[in-house]
Amino acid sequence: MQTQTYRKIAQLGYFSLMAYVLMWHLWLSPPPEGISLGLMLGLWFVPLLFPLRGILRGNPYTYAWASFISLWYFLHSLTIIVADENERWLAVVELLLASTFFYGCVYYAKYRGRELGLSIRKPKQPKSPK
């Protein structure tokens, strides 16, 4: 039960972040003249597409490395909160969504990996007699 709750939290953060990035760059605050919309979407939307298959399938390995992708949005939002007063409220929402995505990914990967018997720890080797 706990594992599926974390999966749902991660998916909520992930899909919300995908939708929000599109809304931000297409409607809420489009890029200024001279900056390509394609470039903006390439920087902010395309990275979210990489883990899509694994997120949908519930692959704990994908959730583990997708948590690193969420940090890109976490850092972006913190930078905007500090640097741009006009887009601060947009960045706060991004920070909440990226944090939700990160939290869900980390704990889903941890608990689902345990259920499957996966481990990143090196198995203990018995000491050989001298």
Q: What would the pLDDT profile of 72-111 be if each residue is shown by its tens digit? A: 999 999 999 999 999 999 999 999 999 999 999 999 999 9
Q: Residue 128 falls within a domain, yes or no?
A: no
Q: What is the pLDDT of residues 23-48, one digit of tens each?
A: 998 899 988 888 888 888 899 999 99
Q: Residue 36 falls within a domain, yes or no?
A: yes
Checking if the pLDDT of 123 tops 70, the result is: no
Q: What tokens were used for 19?
A: 């939708």
**Which domain covers residue 34, as residue numbers?**
2-115
Q: Residue 127 falls within a domain, yes or no?
A: no
Q: Residue 100 falls within a domain, yes or no?
A: yes
Name the domain count of the chain: 1
Calculate mean pLDDT across residues 53-62: 96
The C-alpha atoms of residue 125 and residue 100 are separated, in whole angstroms, by 38
Q: Residue 130 falls within a domain, yes or no?
A: no
Checking if the pLDDT of 121 tops 70, the result is: no
